[in-house]
Every structure is written in C-alpha cells, then in structure tokens.
Amino acid sequence: MITVTNLSYRYEDGCPEVISDIDFQIKEGEVFGFLGPSGAGKSTTQKILTGQLRDYTGTVVVAGEEIKTARRSIYNKLGVAFEFPNLYEKLTAIENLKLFGAFYNRNMQDPSELLKMVNLSDEKNTLVSSFSKGMKMRLNFVRSIMHNPEILFLDEPTSGLDPVNARIIKDIIRKLKYQGTTIFLTTHNMTDAESLCDELALIDNGKFVLTGNPSDLKIKYGTKKLRLTYLDNNIHRNRDFSLNLLGSDTEFLEILKKYEIETIHSNEATLEDIFIEVTGHALSGSETEMIDHA
C-alpha cells in the first residue's frame, strides 16, 4: 500500500535535511509504527505521505500512485488524524462530522454511532469550542475513519487521553487492522508502539537507526535472563538466572521446590532501552505529558 524509496526532504535550500534517504514499505493491513523523539522527522514524513509536502526527492507511492502527482480522488482512500485536532469550533460535534463527511465520495459511517464509539454521544450537540483536548482528540479520530479509508495516518492518537479512552482508541485501531486497513502510526509512545505495531522504524535526526518487528527487536537486544521473585520467611527476594540451560540449574529448581513463587519475568529490553543502545540518548526525553481526563 505504501512504498518509499530514497526519500529526503529539507524545508529550505541550504538547510539541513529533515529526512535523509529513507526507505520502507508498508503492506496492506499492516500497522507500521514511526517511533522517535520530537524533531526526528516523524511528522514531516507523514506530511509527505499525505501529500502536504511535495518538494521532496525520492519516490513515495501511496495506494498505487506517486503522491506528488496523485489525483485528488486518492484522498477518498486516506484518513488522517494529526496530533493537534483541526475542527470547526463554532459547530457541534455532530455538525463537524456531517460537514467533513460531505467531502468524501464514499459509503459513510453513521456519525452518531461514531460518537457513541468514543464516549461522545452526550456531547454530540455541544459546540466543539467547549471541548477539552481529550474530547477533541476523540472527535478528530472518528472524523478520520468515518469514510472507511483504506489507509489511515495517525499522529500520536492517544496523546493526552486518560487510560480508559486511550484503550478505546487502541481497540478501534486493532479492529481496523483486522478489517484490513493499512495504518501508519507516528508516535513517541513506546507502549502504543509495542502493543499496536506489526513493524516499526526507529528514526533519529531524519535517519532510520533500526527497523523490525517490536517483539523480535526486544528479544534481540534483551539480555537472556529471568528474574524470580519469591517469599522467604515473609521476606520478598529477587534472583536473576540465565535462560541458558535453565532447566538444569540446581539453584533455580531448588527455589521452585522450596519457596512460594510470586513472579517470574524474562528480562526483555524495552523500546526505550533499544533506542538508547543504538543512538546513545533517550527516546522520549524528559517531557511530561498532560493527561486530559475529560
């Protein structure tokens, strides 16, 4: 559904490249994660893929068309939800959906059902100007899927959402994937990337530093150890064991027989750990995200 070859981009002549010679391919029905810190080139790449930035070098084929010269009809196939919602604040939630729905030549989903899906039914006749950030994010999300797009571009879809609403959005994303929607997910949220993506690319300073399946990457860069937590005379104790020949480790087997086991965990690397290992600096930095509970 998406093929990118030798993609580079700079905003002005003489300025450094924001994106530098990247290649990737996204298959139909795949969730592809673009993971990196702020300023790494994630949003720029998404704007190129959606046709907003056209003076790039390289090739970008989306839904069978070079996006630089694509027909306007391609936008019937695309859904886009950016991190900062662009909504008409003097209209109600339902009016926003009906207005944007009129732009597409597609079979549309029922706006009322979409609002119900993201817990906005009670506010469907409320002006968007009174909405919290979290409410706008949810409205912006269902706006992007109301025309049943074949390819969906999501930029930080759970940013600022409380855990309940974040889970709702992620469950919808999983359902869309199951239905065959191709999803390009831009995020610096490691939990979202690990739980949603089939493949991901770690990007830093406009270049790919690593690509692959999240589980495979965690196994590759993790240490092959197991941490055992057990109760010894009402004292919680931790012991680490190598996974190599674990079944013949006498100390490990003795603990299993003698003590009450509380937890057993393999020592997998997180995506943050992996990013630090390959780049030498943190993925998410020291930013603290504001959570909107509305």
Spatial neighbors of 239 by CB under 8 A, at least 6 apart, are 227, 228, 230, 251, 252, 255
Q: Give residue 285's pLDDT.
A: 46
The yes-or-no verdict on residue 223 having pLDDT over 90 is no
The pTM assigned to this predicted structure is: 0.85
Q: Do the strands 182-187 and 151-155 form a parallel or antiparallel pair, or are they unpaired?
A: parallel
Roughly what angle, to the nearest 10 degrees, separates helices 214-221 and 271-279? 60
Short-list 121, 218, 114, CA closest to 176: 114
At 281, the pLDDT band (50, 70, 90 cuts) reads: confident
Q: Give residue 283's pLDDT.
A: 66
CA distance 227 to 221: 17
Mean pLDDT of 229-233: 94
Contact 193, 161 (CB under 8 A): no
Degrees (nearest 5) of the Cα angle 141, 217, 80? 15
pLDDT, one tens digit per residue, over 137-167 is 999 999 999 999 999 999 999 988 999 999 9
Partners of 31 in the β-ladder: 183
Q: Give residue 248's pLDDT.
A: 92
CA distance 187 to 155: 6
Q: Give residue 265's pLDDT.
A: 87
Short-list 188, 61, 173, CA closest to 118: 173
Indicate the CATH number of 2-218 among 3.30.450.20, 3.40.50.300, 3.20.20.70, 2.60.40.730. Answer: 3.40.50.300
Short-list 32, 179, 185, 192, CA closest to 109: 179
Q: Give residue 213's pLDDT.
A: 92
Mean pLDDT of 198-207: 92
Contact 194, 170 (CB under 8 A): no
Hey, where are the domains in the chain? 2-218, 223-267
Mean pLDDT of 172-196: 92
Name residue 38's amino acid: S
Q: Give residue 294's pLDDT.
A: 56
Mean pLDDT of 187-194: 84
pLDDT, one tens digit per residue, over 29-77 is 999 999 888 888 888 999 999 999 999 999 999 999 999 999 999 999 9
Mean pLDDT of 134-139: 95
Contact 206, 17 (CB under 8 A): yes
Q: Give residue 289's pLDDT.
A: 45
Q: What is 184-239 written as a DSSP string?
A: EEEES-HHHHHHH-SEEEEEETTEEEEEE-HHHHHHHHS-SEEEEEEEETTEEEEE
Cα–Cα distances in angstroms (integers) from residue 34 to residues 92, 131, 258, in the given order: 33, 29, 47
Mean pLDDT of 250-264: 94
Q: Do the strands 151-155 and 78-81 form a parallel or antiparallel pair, or are they unpaired?
A: parallel
CA distance 86 to 256: 57
Q: Give residue 284's pLDDT.
A: 59
